[in-house]
Amino acid sequence: MKKYISTFTVCLLLVVSAMAQKANEIDAIKAAIEKETKAFFEIEYKTWVVSWEHAPYAYLSMADSTEIHQFEGWRAIEIGFTDYFITQKPNHSKVERTWMEIRVYGDGAFARFNQRVTSPEGVAGNEQTEIRILEKDKKQNVWKIALVGVLRK
């Protein structure tokens, strides 16, 4: 009987540990997304750059009722946003998110959420649905963005 109790206790501890690890990863993924967004609005170029996976498969697309933008590969993303980071002033907008789903697949993750940006003057923008695919940089132990998809309603 003691053997079964010991085995059960060890299994229970492993399950609890795994659940805590997953919760920590989800918190880290949310923080990585929030860091990239904040850097974008506050024109913190260096922080924004290190938030991204610098790979040819990195991808960013944005679509609304009037236009579609897409950038394939890190270099295209970086070039596509150069003017933004040079010409814009920091914008301390309020970003509200409703997290819909976050899934972790080893060193990869998928996140989906709704987001609304409210300007410092209190003007709320349209709600948008966003997805992110992230990869874990094992050397730095941080999540980096590999894909951004934005659909403005």
Residues of the chain with pLDDT under 70: 1-22
Rounded Cα–Cα distance for residues 147 and 29 (Å): 13
Of 117, 138, 137, 142, residue with least CA distance to 127: 117
Task: Please give the pLDDT value at position 21.
Answer: 59
Structure tokens at 79: 């070039």
Task: Please give the pLDDT value at position 12.
Answer: 39
